[in-house]
C-alpha cells in the first residue's frame, strides 16, 4: 500500500497495489507540467486507487481529447492522469507519495526532447541538505 498527499495536504490518496512501468519522461509536456527536467511517472490500477480526503479540492485539465490531468486546485500539485482509451489504469507522478516505493524506474523516455541543460550522465556531488554555498 502506498500513501500520498499534495503539497498543501488537502488531497490525500491511497494505492492498494503495485506501481508499474515507472519511467522518467523528458517530453515537453511533462517538463512544462512539472516545471522540471523530467517527470517520474508510473501506472496504477484504477481499482487500486482511492482519494481518501480532499476530493472536492481536485480540478482537472484536458490537454488532449480523452486525456485529463487531475491536480489540487489549492496548491497545483499533480495527483493523477486519466486516459479514456485505458480506463483500467491511471498514471501517477511518484513525487506525490509519502511511502517508500519498492518498484524502480525502467527507462528515460523522450530523451531527444530533453532540456538542453539536463545531463543524464552527470557526476554531480550529492548532499543531504542544501549545497554548502547556501548554508
Task: Please write the tens of the pLDDT for every residue from 73-123.
Answer: 999 999 999 999 999 999 999 999 999 999 999 999 998 999 999 888 777
* pLDDT value for 119: 86
**In this structure, is residue 124 part of a structural domain?**
no
CATH number at residue 79: 2.170.150.70
* pLDDT value for 131: 72
Report how far residue 112's alpha carbon sits from residue 91's, in angstroms, rounded to the nearest whole number: 22
* pLDDT value for 104: 95
Nearest one of 68, 81, 12 to 41, comparing CA atoms? 81
Handedness of CA 74, 77, 78, 80 (dihedral sign): negative
* pLDDT value for 133: 81
11-62 pLDDT, tens per residue? 999 999 999 999 999 999 899 988 899 999 999 999 999 999 999 999 999 9
* pLDDT value for 130: 74
**In this structure, is residue 125 part of a structural domain?**
no
* pLDDT value for 21: 95
pLDDT at 135 over 80: no
Domain that holds residue 73: 2-116
At residue 9, the 3 state secondary structure works out as coil
Indicate the number of domains in the chain: 1
**In this structure, is residue 78 part of a structural domain?**
yes
Q: Which residue has the higher pLDDT, 7 or 29?
A: 7
Indicate whether this model's pTM tops 0.85: yes
**In this structure, is residue 133 part of a structural domain?**
no
CB contact at 8 A, 7 and 73: no
Amino acid at each position: 500500500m502506498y500513501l500520498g498527499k499534495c503539497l498543501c495536504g488537502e488531497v490525500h490518496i491511497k494505492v492498494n497495489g503495485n506501481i508499474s512501468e515507472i519511467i522518467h519522461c523528458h517530453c515537453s509536456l511533462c517538463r512544462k507540467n512539472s516545471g522540471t527536467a523530467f517527470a517520474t511517472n508510473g501506472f496504477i490500477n484504477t481499482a487500486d486507487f482511492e482519494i481518501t480526503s480532499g476530493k472536492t479540492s481536485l480540478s482537472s485539465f484536458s490537454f488532449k481529447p480523452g486525456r485529463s490531468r487531475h491536480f489540487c486546485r489549492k496548491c497545483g500539485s499533480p495527483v493523477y492522469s486519466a486516459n479514456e482509451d485505458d480506463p483500467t489504469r491511471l498514471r501517477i507522478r511518484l513525487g506525490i507519495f509519502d511511502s517508500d516505493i519498492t518498484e524502480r524506474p525502467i527507462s528515460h523516455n523522450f530523451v531527444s526532447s530533453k532540456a538542453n541543460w539536463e545531463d543524464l550522465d552527470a557526476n554531480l556531488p550529492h548532499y543531504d541538505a542544501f549545497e554548502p554555498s547556501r548554508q
